[in-house]
Amino acid sequence: MFEQNHYREVKAILDAKIEELGLRKTVERYKILEEVYKRDDHFEADELYFAFVERNFSVSKSTVYNTLDLLVELGLVNKRQFNGSHAARYEKSFGRKQHSHLICVDCNRVFEFCDPRLQAIQDSISQFYQMPIIEHSLIIYGQCQRENCQKNG
């Protein structure tokens, strides 16, 4: 779900970084940011690129990849490698709760879940090692066994 308030905040963060780096404020960068924050899925960079191609919006693949790298650097987007895949998947991160992933090995569908017991484990580990936990990543693989499993695509 697209939240206009989150978009305004992430746009301001991107604006500040662009100014700091002396980059140009291009329409393409902001369109990519907007598209990422309209999505609720885990997407590959090429999927994002082809979404623009389908809408006849002119943007290069390198601009998509470079902008995603910048958004990852800013903490506005998370980049994940699932199931040994060479293709990275991205998801918006600003304003989202920590969550883990369950992935179907047949259709590669990603299910998000949150379990408060994981926070308790994280707190326990942090206390034991006297190290603040910045982030964790838990990925579980299974077979969705659903009638609508998106096998082969």
Q: Does residue 114 have a known ligand-binding role? A: no
Beta-strand runs (E) in 18-150: 77-80, 89-92, 100-104, 110-113, 139-142
Query: What one-character DSSP code corresponds to residue 147?
Result: T
Q: How many other CB atoms are there within 10 angstroms of residue 4's CB atom?
A: 8
CATH superfamily of the domain spanning 98-153: Ferric-uptake regulator, C-terminal dimerisarion domain (3.30.1490.190)
Q: Does residue 149 have a known ligand-binding role? A: yes
**Cα(42)–Cα(88) distance, integer angstroms:** 9
Q: Does residue 99 have a known ligand-binding role? A: no
**Cα(25)–Cα(67) distance, integer angstroms:** 12
Cβ burial 110-125 (10 Å sphere, 16+ → b, else e): beeeeeeeeeeeeeee
Q: What is this structure's pTM?
A: 0.77
Cβ–Cβ under 8 Å, residues 49 and 64: yes
Cβ–Cβ under 8 Å, residues 49 and 59: yes
Question: What pLDDT does residue 153 have?
Answer: 46
Question: What pLDDT does residue 65 have?
Answer: 95
pLDDT in tens, the chain (153 residues): 456 677 889 999 999 999 998 989 999 999 999 999 998 888 999 999 999 999 999 999 999 999 999 999 998 998 987 766 667 889 888 877 778 888 888 887 888 788 889 889 999 999 999 999 888 888 888 888 777 776 644
Cβ–Cβ under 8 Å, residues 99 and 80: no
Domain locations along the chain: 1-96, 98-153
Fold topology of 1-96: Arc Repressor Mutant, subunit A (1.10.10)
Within 13 Å of residue 61, how many CA atoms lie on the same side as its CB? 5
